[in-house]
Amino acid sequence: MRIWLIRALIAAGVVAGLALAAWVGKAWWDSRLPSTYSAMEFGSMDYGGGPAHDHAGHGAISVDQFRGPRAGKPDYRMTLVAQKAEVDLGHGWTTEAWTFNGRVPGPEIRVRQGDLVEATLVNKDIDDGVTIHWHGVDVPNAEDGVAGVTQDAVMPGERYVYRFRANQLGTFWYHSHQISSQQVRRGLYGAFVIEPRQQPRRRTLDLTVIAHDFSGATVLGSQAGRQRRPVPPGTPVRLRLVNSNSFPERFHFAGTAFRVDAIDGTELNGPTPIEYRPLLLGAGARYDITFVMPQYSVGLGLDATTTSLVFVSDPDDPQFHVEDSEGDDFDPATYGRPKLTLLGSTTHFDRSFVLKISKRVGFMNGRPGYHWAINGKLFPETPMYMVSRGDLVKFKIVNDTGSVHPMHLHGHHVLVLSRDGKPTTGSPWWVDTLNVEAHDEYEVAFRADNPGIWMDHCHNLPHARDGLTMHVAYEGVTTPFRLGDGPDNHPE
Ligand code: C2O
Ligand code: CU
């Protein structure tokens, strides 16, 4: 080959290499997060086919204007102290936990529908700061407990007062929303139950059972391993199952027929008795199941663990073992009877969004890798879904990955319309956390009736930390709070 041709090829190669290096360098540089930033400055605005107004211009309302009632005597008042504690999980297990009030789960909060709740969070010694998010409770935005979006993290020695009215009914939970991928796992969570104002006449056993994994020790409630509890035959029982882990938990209830009465704090319509159906609860989800205690023992277990809770009809009954049930997972899409919902039978939506989860090569905060992407964009360029108050909103959630993503929208419950193109046929199925399995596709809808800036993220909290985080924002709402190292606000 001619010498000039070889030289030309080398020169071209060098130029291409330099260009590539410059391009990669810029991508790396651009991906780095500043030390402080606003949830409003980032993200790709997506108006879902609705009007695009300037959302944070003149006359914008700050999230901290959306508060619960500031005045009035609370019906229920409690203090939650975030503190480190060594916790006994039974059967020889102990753990260095981060707790509310020295125990895991934190104290169960039980209020009645309509109660004004006042919770004072005190941080004793959690160095990174804490907050409390009331998962599934559709509180006013300023009470939502997201560090850097609705408040600043509460640092050691500080306190913060949450006040809101418990308007819903059912099973919820609370957890820290500062560095939540670490803080929830270590124990900063508890149950939040809203009971009807009228108590049932019959004495029922109403028990919350949170499944949580403490690095290998799986607890139901506060104990690992086998637990027993005597229950007189004939007693109506309600078990409020909660999965506070970042992965799905399969619960097995064995021994008698039961019904699934509620999902994510919403009663199902016309639930029928079922038997031997494993209940797959995605991260953050809740199922309420009910049954009548029979003459013999029944039990609740967790898939592939020895952790179980056995209800014995007779205290002298020998130990009962909970077998993993073999049937297909319970399917909420076909369970119960249909009923017209608040959304009616409309097919018109004011905004329709797509939320497509995939993986992509790129830089996230300066880290090269194969990262989670939403609609092809990496955090913090993930979408900002813009809505207006009163809108009827549709979301199509597409999981284009091989992992399960429990998608959680704050401040709202969404109605599941279809899965993989098949319309749901059972009871209206409202969720705040939807377990979107690998390659699944869902359509959900909700009414935009709770103004604010709301996180919408994967409740596999390490996924959220690694970029599966976005927001739904109401136009005309802005936040004075900032994310990043400067203010020390890191919600995920
Ligand atoms: Cu249960 Cu954004 O959280
Ligand atoms: Cu995920």
In degrees and rounded to multiples of 5, residue 51 shows phi and psi of -65, 145
Q: Tell me which residue of 35, 22, 23, 21 sits closest to 365, measured CA to CA.
A: 35
Q: How confident is the model at residue 315 (pLDDT cuts 50, 70, 90)?
A: confident
CA of 358 relative to ligand 2 center, distance in Å: 10
User: Is the per-residue pLDDT at 191 higher than 90?
Assistant: yes
- Name the residue at shortest CA distance from atom 3 of ligand 1: 135
User: Is the per-residue pLDDT at 319 higher than 70?
Assistant: no
User: Is the per-residue pLDDT at 58 higher than 80?
Assistant: no
Q: Please check whether residue 312 is in contact with residue 300, taking contact to mean a CB–CB distance below 8 angstroms.
A: no
In degrees and rounded to multiples of 5, residue 80 shows phi and psi of -115, 115
Atom of ligand 1 nearest to the CA of 410: 2
Measure the CA–CA gap between 472 and 173, rounded to whole angstroms: 21
Measure the CA–CA gap between 453 and 456, rounded to whole angstroms: 10
CA of 48 relative to ligand 1 center, distance in Å: 24
pLDDT at 478: 93
Share the mean pLDDT of the chain.
Answer: 93
pLDDT at 444: 97
Q: Check residue 244 and give left, alpha or beta (phi > 0: left; psi -120 to 50: alpha).
A: alpha
N residues, the chain: 492
> Residues lining ligand 2 (ion), CB within 5 A?
405, 458, 460, 463, 468
Which of 93-102, 129-138, 376-385 has the weakest average pLDDT? 376-385
pLDDT at 327: 85
Mean pLDDT of 179-206: 93
CA of 196 relative to ligand 2 center, distance in Å: 34
pLDDT at 120: 98
User: Is the per-residue pLDDT at 134 higher than 80?
Assistant: yes
Atom of ligand 1 nearest to the CA of 175: 1
Measure the CA–CA gap between 476 and 409, rounded to whole angstroms: 20
CA of 178 relative to ligand 1 center, distance in Å: 10
Mean pLDDT of 239-250: 98
Q: Which ligand is nearest to the CA of 245?
A: 1
pLDDT at 54: 59
User: Is the per-residue pLDDT at 456 higher than 90?
Assistant: yes
pLDDT at 44: 85
Q: Tell me which residue of 196, 45, 35 sits closest to 115, measured CA to CA.
A: 196
Per DSSP, the three-state class of 350 is coil
pLDDT at 34: 83
Taking only the tens place, the pLDDT of each residue in 37-48 is: 888 877 889 999
pLDDT at 75: 98
CA-based max dimension of the chain: 99
CA of 125 relative to ligand 2 center, distance in Å: 30
pLDDT at 31: 81
- H or E element: which one contains 21? helix 3-31
Q: Please check whether residue 379 is in contact with residue 469, taking contact to mean a CB–CB distance below 8 angstroms.
A: yes
User: Is the per-residue pLDDT at 5 higher than 90?
Assistant: no
Q: How confident is the model at residue 197 (pLDDT cuts 50, 70, 90)?
A: very high
- Name the residue at shortest CA distance from atom 1 of ligand 1: 135
User: Is the per-residue pLDDT at 56 higher than 70?
Assistant: no
pLDDT at 288: 98
Measure the CA–CA gap between 261 and 472, rounded to whole angstroms: 29
Q: Which ligand is nearest to the CA of 456?
A: 1
Q: Which ligand is nearest to the CA of 243?
A: 1
Q: Which ligand is nearest to the CA of 407?
A: 2
Measure the CA–CA gap between 192 and 244, rounded to whole angstroms: 12
pLDDT at 440: 98
pLDDT at 326: 78
Measure the CA–CA gap between 59 and 65, rounded to whole angstroms: 13
Ligand 1, pocket residues at CB < 6 Å: 133, 135, 175, 177, 284, 408, 410, 455, 457, 459
Which of 107-121, 146-160, 307-321, 422-436 has the weakest average pLDDT? 307-321
Atom of ligand 1 nearest to the CA of 146: 2
pLDDT at 171: 98
Taking only the tens place, the pLDDT of each residue in 8-28 is: 898 898 888 888 888 888 888
Which of 40-49, 249-258, 347-356, 461-470 has the weakest average pLDDT? 40-49
